[in-house]
Amino acid sequence: MAKGMNATAVEPPRDLTLSKGMADLFDEPTAGQNSPEFTVTELSGAIKRVIEGEFGHVRIRGEVGRVSRPRSGHVYLDLKDDRSVISGIIWKGVTARLETQPEEGMEVIATGRITTFAGQSKYQIVIEDIKPAGMGALMALLEKRKAALAAEGLFAPERKRPLPYLPEIIGVVTSPSGAVIRDILHRLRDRFPRKVLVWPVAVQGAKCAPEVARAIEGFNRLTPGGALPRPDLLIVARGGGSVEDLWGFNEEIVARAAAASQIPLISAVGHETDTTLIDFVSDKRAPTPTAAAELAVPVRHELAAWLEGQGARMRQALSQGLTRRGQRMRDVARALPRAETLLEGPRQRLDRGGEKLAPALIAGVQGRRVKLADMSGALRPATLRRHLDADRQRLAQLSARLDPAWQRNLAGQRERLGNRVARFRPDVLHRQITSRRERLTARAQNFRPEVLSRDITRQSQRLADVLARLARAGEAAQERRRRQIEALGRTLGTLGYRETLARGFAVVRGDGDVVTSASAAKAARELEIEFADGRLKLEGKTDTPPDQGSLL
């Protein structure tokens, strides 16, 4: 291109050679000029064709500088080294297919074609593929992401949830065609069979990270107890591989999905020496997929053996507890007084009460008879006639005194009420006197012999009712005391040692005393065993020497 612009030799560039079809791009040189004139657009197009023709497909190694992601979906970035910078662009469709998304500071190898942008007189690379520049770049990117997520607290131990001891449903996020799912199912079947839901995903490549993230989010969106039940535990698993193969589990979208999971999650990605970002944010890391299945469920046979052992311990503890309490009850029973001793006092009080009951009833009846006789003696007709004669005499005396008194009272009233004759006429006063005389006569009728006789009859009937109630009360009291005595007798029989003999026990007596030990039985000269149906006497210790033997 520089030769085409030389002032001494006019030689068009290869893409701008004069021909009949291209002659209209150049003006005829005027007199005194030896170079053609171009418009800005013509020159920009010529440069574009030259650059795209020379650099149709290139690979550039450099560090990613500024990264811009506008709403259009394209990605604009800079590739730089220690001396130069070149602009780059990744179209929206290419961005979705990239395995590694560019981030500022990454060292990458970009594959694409060089082109120009006439609007700003600059050239740039249209990137078709971009990859990290070796293992060191991948590790640097991984460390950078790890530091950013750790600063947000996603690796904090307090965020990690405990795994359920025995989950009903286990969700597995892995490839359905690999050996990993078969290993997990086989291990679960050997240890403790559980229901397993498998969410198939790609475990490497560009589709790995978004599919794994969607699987974790999808399991969390399931409704507990629905048609497709929500798992109680998640396992994200993949077999071993290189760093590039496992890189999908180092993507930020996967790490954030695992951290946001409400279901406890076990990560089992790669072999024991492989480490990915999901291992740091998961609730539990398993070195292998098989180990993840072992962490998920206990061993059924071991659990059954443990339960059986616990049941045996419980039965043994219960038996020992009952034995100790039975022995304690027997010890306490020996410290209690005998039933006969407890019942001696109440029995004596009952006997004394029984002895006093009959005389008390007889005395009560006799006393009431005497009182009734006294009361009936006072109500004889002669006595009533004497009382009636005395009342008549008093009535006659009062009647004799009544008329003069009324006359005197009337005279006084007449004197005091001389001015009020209109209000107190003689006929009114006469009616009042007549009414009072009638009331006095009616009161005197209550003291007639026939009225008093009716009262005596009524009182006698009441007395008979009282005596009948007294007799019934005495009989009820006797019946109540009898039932109490019978109940005490039954209690005495229950508490007595004879009830114990009826259950198969026996009482051993030696020389008249109760024997409670083997040594005392050996020392007794005569033994007596009491059973429920009788007593049996045995010969005990004799005066023979020990070497001749002894009975028992």
Output the six-digit token pair for 3.
């030769």
pLDDT score for 28? 54
pLDDT score for 172? 95
58-68 and 195-200 as β-strands: parallel, antiparallel, unpaired?
unpaired
Q: Provide the residue type at 270 as one letter.
A: G
What phi and psi values does residue 408 have, to the nearest 5 degrees?
-65, -45
Q: Helix or strand or coil: residue 82?
A: coil
pLDDT tens per residue across all 552 residues of the chain: 333 333 333 333 434 333 333 334 445 555 555 667 888 888 888 888 888 777 878 888 888 888 898 988 899 999 988 778 899 999 988 888 887 788 877 888 899 988 888 777 788 899 998 888 765 666 777 888 888 898 999 999 999 999 999 999 999 999 998 889 999 999 999 999 999 999 999 998 888 999 999 999 999 999 888 888 999 999 999 988 877 788 889 899 999 999 999 999 999 998 887 888 999 999 999 999 999 999 999 998 888 888 999 999 999 999 999 999 999 988 888 877 777 777 878 888 888 888 888 888 899 998 888 888 777 766 777 777 888 888 888 888 888 888 788 888 888 877 777 656 555 566 766 777 888 888 877 777 766 777 778 888 888 888 889 889 888 998 999 999 988 998 888 787 777 777 777 777 888 888 878 888 888 888 888 888 888 788 888 765 544 444 433 333
Reduce the secondary structure of 294-361 to three states and give it as a string: HHHCCCHHHHHHHHHHHHHHHHHHHHHHHHHHHHHHHHHHHHCCCHHHHHHHHHHHHHHHHHHHHHHH
Q: Give Cβ neighbours of residue 215 (< 8 Å, ≥ 6 apart).
A: 173, 199, 201
If you count them, how many residues does the chain have?
552
* Chain centroid, CA 543 distance in Å: 76
pLDDT score for 23? 39
What is the Cα–Cα distance from 507 to 537, expressed in whole angstroms? Answer: 12
Q: Helix or strand or coil: residue 290?
A: helix
For 184, counting Cβ atoms within 10 Å of its Cβ (0-12 exposed, 13-18 middle, 19+ buried), the class is: buried
pLDDT score for 8? 31
Residue pair 234/263 in contact by the 8 Å Cβ criterion = yes
What is the Cα–Cα distance from 375 to 63, expressed in whole angstroms? Answer: 137
What's the pTM? 0.42
- Number of Cβ within 10 Å of residue 59's Cβ equals 11
pLDDT score for 33? 56
Q: Give one DSSP letter per residue of 495-520, joined into a string.
A: HSHHHHHHTT--EEEETTEE--SHHH
- Number of Cβ within 10 Å of residue 37's Cβ equals 11
pLDDT score for 402? 80
Helical H segments across 55-155, by residue range:
92-95, 135-151
Q: Provide the residue type at 328 as one letter.
A: R
Buried b (16+ CB within 10 A) or exposed e, 466-478: eeeeeeeebeeee
Reduce the secondary structure of 439-473 to three states and give it as a string: HHHHHHHCCCHHHHHHHHHHHHHHHHHHHHHHHHH
Q: At what angle do helices 339-377 and 449-495 cross, to 10 degrees?
A: 170
What is the Cα–Cα distance from 264 to 259, expressed in whole angstroms? Answer: 10
What is the Cα–Cα distance from 25 to 43, expressed in whole angstroms? Answer: 10
Q: In what order do the strands lie in the sheet with 284-285?
A: 195-200, 169-174, 233-238, 265-269, 284-285
